[in-house]
Amino acid sequence: MKNNTKGLTTPIQSDLTGALVRRVIHPLWAKFTHPAYARYMQEFERNQYLHPDDLRKLQMLRLRQQLIDAYRYVPFYRHRMTQAGLTPLDIRTHEDLRLLPVLTKRDIQDHQDLLVSSNVSPSKRKQDQTGGSTGSPLQFYVDLERFDSRMASTVRHNAWAGLRIGDWHAQLWGPRYDFGDKPDPTPFWRQKFLYRNISLHTADVTEESMMQYVEVLRKYRPRSMVSYAQSAVRFAEFCKANNIHDVAFDSMIVSAEMLPPGKRQVLEETFHGKVFNRYGCREVGVIASECEFHSGLHVNADALIVEVEAAPNLPSGMGRVLVTDLLNRSMPLIRYEIGDLASLDTEMRCPCGRSLPLIGNIQGRTSNFLRLPSGGMIAGPSLALLAADMRDVRQVQCIQPDPAHVTLKVVAGNGYNQRTEEELRRRMQPYLEKESNLTIVTADSIPSEPSGKYRFVKTGEDTETPTAMSR
């Protein structure tokens, strides 16, 4: 950014602090709080250039170990494999993986306790949850060490976009849920001297908050922006409409939502940098990212196996995405149907020399904004965690005929009652305004869109049009 007249942090000071964070503070922090991180960091750095055959061998080794553990210590998988007449030793190749049944979100909701490994101590795992782009709340467990390897994957993929540890980056990201009641974009000390991130929450995207974001960005001048795709687009449109030309990023990493066709160009023109598409989810972290050649998304293949499987009633050339996490033991996700569609094309090539396989044209992560009577908008993914930790709620969807009316459609789980409804109403309140009218209705199911996908927010004038990743 050019006009930094009010900034307290000069580029030189920022670079020196960044180098200090990169070389001293972050490695020390990682050593004491995330002991496996450095090991994975080194390994993943090497793995991206392995010979493809060696990469597949590594995947197979990790898959075999995962399956043996799942069979021994996770009742759900032992039962499933027994029912299918299989043991882990029957899975000898990547193709054999197809012999195992698909794990659905419904399976996780219905058999959560049976999916937990008896071999991982509660002190070595952490519970997490997601509303997901599908709006189905899920709880799951992640090994503490898996958080380390996930962080190492993210750092590797960030480096492809030129974002290093110690570089300031903005995060136009995350629900109010993660920020508390009074989100403030000003970085606190840990952000300044460790994470180097500026959190610009997407729960309340109003003109006023975006102006506040502009001021913070002018002050700190982050090199990169990591963002929900549609939030980035909306922010770019705001900057254009208000003749703000001094907000710039070398790179913009966009994920969690589809980048609508043509919007890559809008982002690159507005912020004078390159867009890097990323695909991931809360359950397994980064799944795939674009490298500097933008030839599709390289799969995080040393930690995951990603299958794109043909299935009936899908748009031509598309398959459902199934993910197997090779490193998480406390609740293994094996052939997990994440709820997205991707191109079945396996012929993509990238000139960067990385052997990590490519996927492209991911479809179906389209989420809308909830519109407020005052003209404000709330990003769908911000609302997606609304009922994530409520076991008496299976699925929710916001229907909006006009900005003053919101109907929350709920698929009730076991134990759903009046109190559940009151709790949902209470949780929705911070996202609404005085003039908003909220109605809660229950439904047996929430039908998906013609593309086979589900949308968290549906507005009156909306009809889903299949979108492709813009190139």
Q: How far apart are CA 2 and CA 245, in angstroms?
A: 9
Q: Between 48 and 230, whose beta carbon lies closer to Zn ion?
A: 48
CA dihedral 146, 287, 102, 349 (to 10 degrees): -140
- Report in angstroms how near the CB of residue 173 gets to Zn ion at its nearest: 24
Number of residues that bind Zn ion (CB under 5 A): 4
Q: Between 136 and 289, whose beta carbon lies closer to Zn ion?
A: 289
The piece of 38-46, 105-113, 256-264, 346-354 that touches Zn ion (CB under 5 A) is: 346-354
Q: How far apart are CA 403 and CA 368, in angstroms?
A: 13
Q: Between 132 and 360, whose beta carbon lies closer to Zn ion?
A: 360
The piece of 9-17, 216-224, 344-352, 410-418 that touches Zn ion (CB under 5 A) is: 344-352
Q: How far apart are CA 21 and CA 191, in angstroms?
A: 11
Contacts of residue 178, defined as CB under 8 A and 6 or more positions apart, other chains included, come to 201
Q: Between 163 and 214, whose beta carbon lies closer to Zn ion?
A: 163
Taking CA atoms, 441 is separated from 66, 367, 425, in Å, by 42, 21, 11
Binding of Zn ion at residue 356 (CB under 5 A)?
Answer: no
Among 144, 216, 344, 352, binds Zn ion (CB under 5 A): 352
Q: How many residues can be counted in the chain? A: 471
Of 450, 277, 460, give the one whose Cα is nearest residue 364.
450
Secondary structure of residue 6 in the 3-state scheme: coil
Q: Between 291 and 386, whose beta carbon lies closer to Zn ion?
A: 291
- Report in angstroms how near the CB of residue 264 gets to Zn ion at its nearest: 17
Among 165, 200, 350, 457, binds Zn ion (CB under 5 A): 350
- Report in angstroms how near the CB of residue 255 gets to Zn ion at its nearest: 17
| Token digits of residue 365 | 């992560």
Strands 393-402 and 405-412, by their bridges, are antiparallel
- Report in angstroms how near the CB of residue 289 gets to Zn ion at its nearest: 9
- Report in angstroms how near the CB of residue 125 gets to Zn ion at its nearest: 33
Check: CB of residue 455 under 8 Å from CB of residue 340. no
Sheet with 393-402, side-by-side order of all strands: 437-442, 405-412, 393-402, 457-459
Q: Between 148 and 290, whose beta carbon lies closer to Zn ion?
A: 290
Q: How many H helices and E strands in the chain? A: 13, 19
Q: How far apart are CA 374 and CA 436, in angstroms?
A: 10
The piece of 94-102, 145-153, 225-233, 351-359 that touches Zn ion (CB under 5 A) is: 351-359
Q: Between 218 and 298, whose beta carbon lies closer to Zn ion?
A: 298
- Of residues 279 through 308, those in contact with Zn ion by CB under 5 A are 291, 293
Q: How far apart are CA 65 and CA 324, in angstroms?
A: 13
- Report in angstroms how near the CB of residue 440 gets to Zn ion at its nearest: 47
- Of residues 249 through 268, those in contact with Zn ion by CB under 5 A are none
- Of residues 69 through 88, those in contact with Zn ion by CB under 5 A are none
Q: Between 348 and 440, whose beta carbon lies closer to Zn ion?
A: 348
Q: Between 155 and 408, whose beta carbon lies closer to Zn ion?
A: 155
Contacts of residue 334, defined as CB under 8 A and 6 or more positions apart, other chains included, come to 66, 67, 70, 77, 100, 103, 324, 325
Over the window 176 to 195, marking each residue x when it contacts Zn ion by CB under 5 A and - when it does not, the resulting string is --------------------
* Identity of the residue numbered 393: V
Q: Between 222 and 296, whose beta carbon lies closer to Zn ion?
A: 296
- Report in angstroms how near the CB of residue 14 gets to Zn ion at its nearest: 29
Check: CB of residue 249 under 8 Å from CB of residue 273. yes
Contacts of residue 398, defined as CB under 8 A and 6 or more positions apart, other chains included, come to 370, 383, 406, 407, 408, 409, 456, 457, 458
Of 103, 174, 164, 113, give the one whose Cα is nearest residue 139.
113
Cβ count within 10 A of residue 263: 20
- Report in angstroms how near the CB of residue 332 gets to Zn ion at its nearest: 29
- Report in angstroms how near the CB of residue 295 gets to Zn ion at its nearest: 6
Secondary structure of residue 29 in the 3-state scheme: helix
Q: Between 350 and 428, whose beta carbon lies closer to Zn ion?
A: 350
- Of residues 105 through 164, those in contact with Zn ion by CB under 5 A are none
- Report in angstroms how near the CB of residue 350 gets to Zn ion at its nearest: 3
Q: Between 299 and 338, whose beta carbon lies closer to Zn ion?
A: 299
- Report in angstroms how near the CB of residue 249 gets to Zn ion at its nearest: 21
The piece of 22-30, 45-53, 215-223, 349-357 that touches Zn ion (CB under 5 A) is: 349-357
- Report in angstroms how near the CB of residue 354 gets to Zn ion at its nearest: 5
The piece of 54-62, 103-111, 223-231, 350-358 that touches Zn ion (CB under 5 A) is: 350-358
Contact residues for Zn ion, defined by CB under 5 A:
291, 293, 350, 352
